Structure 1
């Protein structure tokens, strides 16, 4: 396995639409997935999309740590050719960061409940309902496959901050929840 270079905002690879993976069982895809997981864990991050490491294929890796899962932690997972289906219209603002934009954080709206599907490295279908942080991570990573960054979803530039000042954004979120 190897650590891969993560493309930074401004790199054209992050704005291209990735092509479908033709053969999920290809050993090169398995090697890429293993390298992506190692890179994600080393960063440390909770997700990584193939375009972020210079590979224009529709594959993401992600995990949901126990402290962010609200119950069930999700181990490192490989999802190839993902499809995202919102299960209702409800969205929620949440703080996001990105390994390709390491100096910023922002509040981005995401669907709160989704079904994602695709295939695993063995070619077997994967379909799962996700909520909360799990749903946010999968949507964030899948956006990369279509050339979108989370900052494209931020609806108000006042909802962007440097990492050092991002606590103000989370404080604002907590305050908004207290008023509802």
Structure 2
């Protein structure tokens, strides 16, 4: 379900969406709302409605389950995303990918820039592209700026898997899907990843499927 009417105020769209109760429907690739970018948040939702919307994003992300969710993924073209990663992974994966637990956080009007030139590539998936994963090379470290849901300034450096999460979710707010940055030859079903490419790195997949890593 995308945005039902571009001329309906965002507050009305959100109220209508929240009236359904429970986890929100997640928009799939092909819906224009995922491609046209978002409107910076500037008070379009009054504080109580913003809090309800953020809670709905959290419920939806956890139910999916996922480690991040951007407003366009529920049909709302507003520059807001949430992230949370309990990171219940084996120690080898934690060390190789830098996947450490991230508490629930709200990103309002986020943007990022690389810190350094190092890039790393791992399989990545998306709730809006169900059933598939692909290898994406991304900066290993980024500086994220923006605000939280209370308007407090955010200026933080993320590394490892948390850096990947904030890049993925911020990209959604710019109309970019992870597939736009992926190695096309790496595209694999969840089943294929589980059967063949569950190693901590993507090196074996790169050799077998014929693509290069940074």
User: Is this a same-fold pair by TM over 0.5?
Assistant: yes
Match of 2:60 in 1: 39
CA distance in 1, matches of 2:120, 2:100: 20
Residue-pair matches, total: 177
Match of 1:29 in 2: 50
Structure 2 stretches lacking a partner, 5+ long: 1-20, 207-214
The 3 A distance-change label for structure 1 pair 176 and 53 is closer
The reply to whether residue 173 of structure 1 matches residue 173 of structure 2 is no
C-alpha RMSD of matched pairs (Å): 2.2
CA distance in 1, matches of 2:99, 2:138: 20
CA distance in 2, matches of 1:49, 1:16: 13
- Alignment map for 1:77-92 (pairs within 5 Å): 77-92=105-120
Larger radius of gyration: 2
- Alignment map for 1:1-180 (pairs within 5 Å): 2-23=22-43, 26-67=47-88, 70=98, 72-155=100-183, 157-167=184-194, 168-171=196-199, 173-175=202-204
CA distance in 2, matches of 1:43, 1:71: 19
How big is each residue's C-alpha offset from its partner over 1:48-90, in whole Å with a ceiling of 9 and x where there is no partner? 0000001100011011223356475211110100010211121
How big is each residue's C-alpha offset from its partner over 1:21-51, in whole Å with a ceiling of 9 and x where there is no partner? 0027632222111100110001110000000
Q: What TM-score does the superposition give when structure 1 sets the normalisation length?
A: 0.89
Per the TM alignment, residue 163 of structure 1 is displaced from its structure 2 partner at its CA by 0.8
How big is each residue's C-alpha offset from its partner over 1:92-119, in whole Å with a ceiling of 9 and x where there is no partner? 1111100001111000111100111211
Higher relative contact order (CA 8 A, sep 6+): 1
Per the TM alignment, residue 150 of structure 1 is displaced from its structure 2 partner at its CA by 0.5
Range with greater deviation from structure 2 (109-118 or 15-24): 15-24
Structure 1 stretches lacking a partner, 5+ long: none
CA distance in 2, matches of 1:80, 1:34: 14
